[in-house]
Each structure stands twice: as C-alpha cells, then as structure tokens.
Structure 1
Amino acid sequence: MGRIALLGCGFVADLYLRSLRAMSGIEVAAVYDRDAARLDRFCAHWGLPKAGSLTGFLETLPEGTLVLNLTNPSAHYELNRACLDAGHHVYSEKPLAMEIDDAKALHTLARDKGLMLASAPCSVLGEAAQTLGHALRHDIAGTPRVIYAELDDGFVPQAAYRKWLSETGAPWPYDDEFRVGCTLEHAGYYLGWLIAWFGTVRTVVAASAETVPDKTGAGPMAPDLSVATLFFETGPVARLTCSIVAPHDHSIRIVGDKGVLSCDAAWDNAAKVRFAKRMTLRRRLMEHPFPRRVKLSGPPHPKVKRWGAAAMNFMLGPAEMLDALSTKRPSRLSADFALHMTEVTLAIQNAGESTGAQAMTTCCDPMEPMPWAR
C-alpha cells in the first residue's frame, strides 16, 4: 500500500482526490491546510484524516510517505524544503520554485538526503503523450524536425472565473493565477512531453508580455503571453506558445520527414493521436487529408472522467513515484526532470522583450516509456 499526504486542499486538491478514486493501492495518511475551515470541509467531504498544524503534519507522517505539495506557487520553495528537511519524498505542483536558484537548492537537498523530488504536471505519463512517444520511437513520422505546441486558453480575463468552484467549493484562485502567469502554470503540459521525448533543451529563445492590463487582483501581474523557440540537444526545434488571450488551442504537431503526428488536447489523457502521411498529388505536396489514428496495443492507465476543462488523471505522477519506491528503481519523474523543466519554464516566463538566447544550465535524459507504451 502506497501512502501519500496532502499539503494544501484548495482548488486543485479536489482534482487529485477525484483521480485517487480511480487508482488502487494508495491511501492518504494526513491532510493539512492553513485555512482551518477549508481543511474541515475538504476532509469531511472526502473522509480523510487531518493534521492540526504544519509541524504536526510533518512530524507524524510515517516513513516513506510521499507529500503532495498542492499549495500556491509562492509557497512551493519554502514548503518543499520543509518536507525534504523532515525526511519526506515530495511531489510538488508546478512550479518547483519561483526562482531557479531555489529550485537548484531543492534538487541538491533531495539528492543529499536520498529523497525523491518531482514536479507536476504528470500528463507526460498519460496515454496521449505515451502514444506520441511510441510513434516517435517507432519512426512512424520519420526523423522529427519541427514541433509546434499551443497552450492557449481563450480570453480568460473576460471569463466567468469568479464562478469557477471545485467539487468541495474552493474558488479558482484567479488573483494568484494572474500573478503567477499562464506560462508557469501551463507550459509544463507540453514542455514535459517534449523533454521526455527529446531530453535536454540546450537553448531557449523566448519573448513574454502582459498584453491585457488591469486584471482582477493585486499586481504586479505576470505575462499573459509567451512564445518560445526551444533547441534540443538531440536535434529537434520546438515552438511553444502559452496565453490566456488567444482562442482556445491545445494542439501539438510534430513534423517529420514522412509526415505529421498530431494531438488536439493536452489536457485529455485519452486524446486521439493521428498521423498524416506526406504525399504528392498532381505535383502538389500535401499531408494526407484523412490522417490515420495511432493506437497502443495494450491497456493504458486508469482514466478519469472530464471535470471542467480537463480529463486528466492527476495521480499518475504520485503513483509512478510510489511504484518506484516499492520496486527500488529510479522514478521516471526524476529530480533532474523536474529541475530542467523548471529552468526552461522560468526562462520562457521571464524572457520579456529583449532577453534573447538563453543557454540552459541543467540537463535531463529522455524518459523511459511506460511499460504499456513500449
């Protein structure tokens, strides 16, 4: 039986608990949130044990517990460090930290203590990402040359976000979301896939900007648009766009020598993966107008029904770490993976108008595929 503990029970915590219901062999040891009323409501709804203080939470967790840090991003570094100092493995919501030096300090601390440290999102372990990885390894599209990835969420500043509530009534933290920014919140959904397939990003050339001023909440606000070109050590070049301004588009296209692999929904583990073969018709070069679907032969992971904008199993990451602990193997969601994804994300977020090319200082090997995706 794997054991987790939840630190923070705001909006995203309900998504983890909905996902936990689809999994087996994982129990919740304790939950803590500094908002006592919120903690009571959450634990009563899900039938979970609660801790009365952060100190009590950290001191009473059994050895081998994996702490899920689901707090606001500004608290991630401090609380991730506290959990590691207390001897607990950590799975942190994104980002690992708001500053790269802090993220590197966490990486060093986890290594020195022999603890696991990972960062969301875990959709890289989902069926759609693993299917695309399978297609790349089996040369379906030929050598990948260019990748276009979009994470545009529509004109969110005009959305009815004050009415967005989680299953237990926690409001979507719009004030914090606007201050943290869509790049830190969302880039990992495709960046994690790309790093898993291709490994280290050598250079980031990016720009970011706040295009819609006067958002709700206390400033300063983060960029609401970023566009990055990523140069991978293994060869491919990717363009990644994040915004809460442009019309909704969560598509990815991988252009290879033989044609184009594509997927239309980053936040749906079961999204269809398609391949359009390149062809010449009457002297015209084109991709096949009716792409074929790429499928895996074996059964994948447990699925979670759509709730709100996502159809993702948020527990895939913690489950992977717990399995790695029980089988004494390295986790696919390694500290190196978390740190590199954090550095690249921060480079994009903080690029502004004139930063130019940025050489990355961290590295990461491509990820071992899931057994059912080989």
Structure 2
Amino acid sequence: MEKVKVGVVGCGMISSIYLKNCTQVFNHILKVIACADLMPELARKRAEEFSVPTYCTVEELLANQDIDVVLNLTAPAAHAEINMRALHAGKHIYTEKPFALRREEAQEVLALAESKGLLVGCAPDTFMGASLQTCRKLIDDGWIGTPYGANATIIMGSAGDGMHPNFQNFLKLGGDPMMDMGPYYLTALINLLGPVRRVTGSANQLHAKIKVQNPKSSRYGDTIPVEAPTNVAAVLDFHSGAVASLQAAKESFGYKPRLEIFGTEGNMTVPDPNFFGPVPGLDTTVIIQFRSGQSKEIPLTHGFTEDSRGIGLADIAYAIRSGRANRASGRLAEHVLDISLAIFEASTEERHIHLQTHVERPAPLPLGLKFNQLDS
C-alpha cells in the first residue's frame, strides 16, 4: 500500500512522540516529509532529530502538493484555524485535542472537509490501545451484563509551578482539565458505552489568578490569571440508558485517575484512559468484580500496549487509501467537544443540556491485530 505523506505543523513537546512513532512504528503507512513551526529553530530541530527531509514555514508546508495529510500539533487556540487552512489547501487533517474551542469552529471544519471529500481525525487515540480495546471486547461479549453506569475521576496537580514551557496555556480554555484531560475519559466512555444524549454539571475554580512559586521557573514570582474552570463535576446520560459521573480537576497535587464501568453482572475497573497499556503504579490489568463476589484480573488481549500516540493518524492513512471511515474521527471529536461545552453551559444555566451532536461508537480493533494491519 502506498504510504501517506505527512506534514507536521507545531514542533513543541508533544511532537517528539508523534514523530518517533510516525517514523519508526507506523512508517509502513506514514512518511513524514516536512515539519513547520512559528519558531523555525524548533522545526529544524525536529527535522534533524527524526530525519525529516524538509523544515519550513507553515505557509510553505500547506503549499506543498506532495503532502496528503497535515498533523496539527499547535496550541489549542490555533487548532481550528490551522485545520481550515489545511483543508482549503486540499489536505486531510489529524489534530491534537481539543478539536476546537467553540462548536461553530468544529462545525465549519467538518462542513468544509465534507464539501471537499477530505477526512478529519482528532486525538485522543488511546481508545485504540490495548487497555481500552480489551475493555471494549469484554463489554461487547457480555462479561459484565448490561452496562448501566460509570464513574470517571481525573485529579491532577495545577500548572502553578510554572515548569511547563507553555504552562500559561493550562490556565486557559483548552488547557483546562475538561478540555485537556477530559477528552481521554469522554472518548473512552463513548467507545465503551456509546454517545451521550444530555449532561448537567458544575464548573468552578478556586483562584482567579496564581503566583508562580517555583524558583526554578522562568516566570518565578509572576502573577498569572486563571481563565478557565479548574474543577468540574458532571453527570452524563447516554443514549444506551447508562448514567455516568465525571470529576476533572487541576487544583491539588499528584495524579489520581479512576474509571469504573458498572454492569448488571459485574463491575469493571478500567486502566487509565490517558495511556494505551499498563502503567507502573497504576491499574495494569482489567479487573472485574462479579455479582457472585468473585473478582478476576484479566490480562490485556489486544496490541498497542506501548505509547502508540499517532495510531489515529495511521488509521486515517489506511482510511484514505481504502475509503473506509477512520476511528478517531472528527465527528467523534465534535461530540466530545459538545459534551465539554455543554457541561460548562449546564453549570452557568443551572439545567440539563441536551446535545445536538451524535456519533456511533468507533469500530473496534480485532483481536490479534498487528501494528501494520489496521485495516483488518
């Protein structure tokens, strides 16, 4: 199968693992031919590090007729703009989450892509990893009976230490816990339980501004405004009849993830949706507590246990070549965005919000699938 040629826009921290996997793991279907960034030295550094033949400006990359798909790794506020520019240039797109910051932006991207016959993909793609695909098969095979509920919790430290190079972005919409980490959990829940029909919730923040207190930070002593909710609690009603609770916060310390699915015959503890497979110190197997009181640890049955970030891009490449739908799709990302924004609206308006978007569960990956068989 002919390789799909990729141009990468945005060469910050997250680009390293994408480029590693695109050039070393999924290079049977992907060929990265150009890198671009607003800071040319970053594009040059990544191109040299991963033997990408060209580094250039964003304009030059979008004008390159050899590029089939743009991998958009820019800051959240730029996602929609870069996606629109890439589509206008006739290129498929795969973007980091969040898909957009406003529903209108997401709708414009999807409408333009559809009018041009181009595919849209969006992170996260961790639901295609070993952990969540194992859980998907167990649920589909009836191990826990009928799923009726779920509990998702993701508690993280704040960005107040100022050590991330772009830590200010985590204090704005797009880097907040709902938009930044929420997509991993919402996408996992949609993969396991199907689409959401309505939500309600509360969103708040402890501080209107923070002072950077870590002396190792280049912004030590600076006061930075907090522009987005940092503590969110929500209730999600699914079309299937299941009801889930979700808590997402960046107000304290450490990292405390938890996802459980409740069924009529058993309750399932799901490994952290932020990862593809086992993570030392966290849940490394799927655990089911059965109605009988017995519990069982179930080893992961599927492939992609390592950090396989970029599998969604490889999947869209196979979709481009075969004509099928891609799994980490723009419609899936739009539904996740709709849920996130509806939670904020529910908090402000003090009511349930009925969603206008709908998406089918993405197709599961078969057992025994190898890294170069995403079309099987």
Q: Same fold (TM over 0.5)?
A: yes
The TM-score normalised by the length of structure 2 is: 0.86
Q: 1:101 is matched by which residue type in structure 2?
A: E
Supply the distance in 2 between the matched residues of 1:28 and 1:248 (Cα, whole angstroms).
34
Name the counterpart of 2:54. 50
Q: Which runs of 5+ in 2 are unaligned?
A: 213-222, 279-284, 370-376
Name the counterpart of 2:124. 121
Tell me: CA distance 1:59–1:157, structure 2 relative to 1, closer, same or farther (3 Å). Answer: closer
Supply the distance in 2 between the matched residues of 1:364 and 1:373 (Cα, whole angstroms).
27
2:137 paired residue among 134, 139, 150 = 134
CA contact (8 A) 1:332 1:368 kept: yes
Name the counterpart of 1:260. 267
Name the counterpart of 1:168. none
2:258 paired residue among 225, 228, 251 = 251
Supply the distance in 2 between the matched residues of 1:254 and 1:199 (Cα, whole angstroms).
13
- Secondary structure in 2 aligned to 1:253? strand
Supply the distance in 2 between the matched residues of 1:234 and 1:373 (Cα, whole angstroms).
29
Query: How far off its partner does 1:241 sit?
Result: 1.3
1:175 paired residue among 154, 160, 168 = 168
Q: 2:199 is matched by which residue type in structure 1?
A: V
The TM-score normalised by the length of structure 1 is: 0.86
Name the counterpart of 1:84. 87
Name the counterpart of 1:345. 340
* Cα offsets for 1:256-306 (capped at 9, x unmatched): 111211124222311321111123xxxxxxx44xx3122455x513x43xx
* Cα offsets for 1:18-61 (capped at 9, x unmatched): 33333331210211001112222222222223343222111114
Name the counterpart of 2:115. 112
Query: How far off its partner does 1:373 sit?
Result: 7.3
Name the counterpart of 2:322. 327
CA contact (8 A) 1:202 1:232 kept: yes
Query: How far off its partner does 1:371 sit?
Result: 1.9
Name the counterpart of 1:234. 240
Tell me: CA distance 1:329–1:35, structure 2 relative to 1, closer, same or farther (3 Å). Answer: same
Of residues 77-86 and 204-213 in structure 1, the stretch that sits farther from structure 2 once superposed is 204-213
Supply the distance in 2 between the matched residues of 1:188 and 1:69 (Cα, whole angstroms).
17
Name the counterpart of 1:275. 288
Supply the distance in 2 between the matched residues of 1:115 and 1:200 (Cα, whole angstroms).
24
In the TM superposition, structure 1's runs of 4+ consecutive aligned residues that sit over 4 Å from their partners are: none
* Cα offsets for 1:64-93 (capped at 9, x unmatched): x12111000111111110011111111111
Supply the distance in 1 between the matched residues of 2:368 and 2:227 (Cα, whole angstroms).
40
Q: 1:225 is matched by which residue type in structure 2?
A: N
Supply the distance in 2 between the matched residues of 1:124 and 1:161 (Cα, whole angstroms).
30
* Cα offsets for 1:141-180 (capped at 9, x unmatched): 1111110011211x3245x551x5xxxxxx3x21011113
Name the counterpart of 1:70. 73
Q: 1:238 is matched by which residue type in structure 2?
A: A
Of residues 199-208 and 54-63 in structure 1, the stretch that sits farther from structure 2 once superposed is 54-63
2:94 aligned with 1:94: no
Supply the distance in 2 between the matched residues of 1:66 and 1:139 (Cα, whole angstroms).
38
Query: How far off its partner does 1:332 sit?
Result: 1.5
Count of equivalent residues: 345
Supply the distance in 2 between the matched residues of 1:52 and 1:16 (Cα, whole angstroms).
18
1:199 paired residue among 169, 179, 194 = 194
Query: How far off its partner does 1:214 sit?
Result: 2.0
- Secondary structure in 2 aligned to 1:245? strand
- Secondary structure in 1 aligned to 2:197? strand
CA contact (8 A) 1:199 1:363 kept: no
Supply the distance in 2 between the matched residues of 1:212 and 1:19 (Cα, whole angstroms).
39
Supply the distance in 2 between the matched residues of 1:350 and 1:28 (Cα, whole angstroms).
40
2:1 aligned with 1:3: no
Taking only the aligned residue pairs, the percentage that are identical comes to: 24
Tell me the C-alpha RMSD between the 2 structures: 2.0
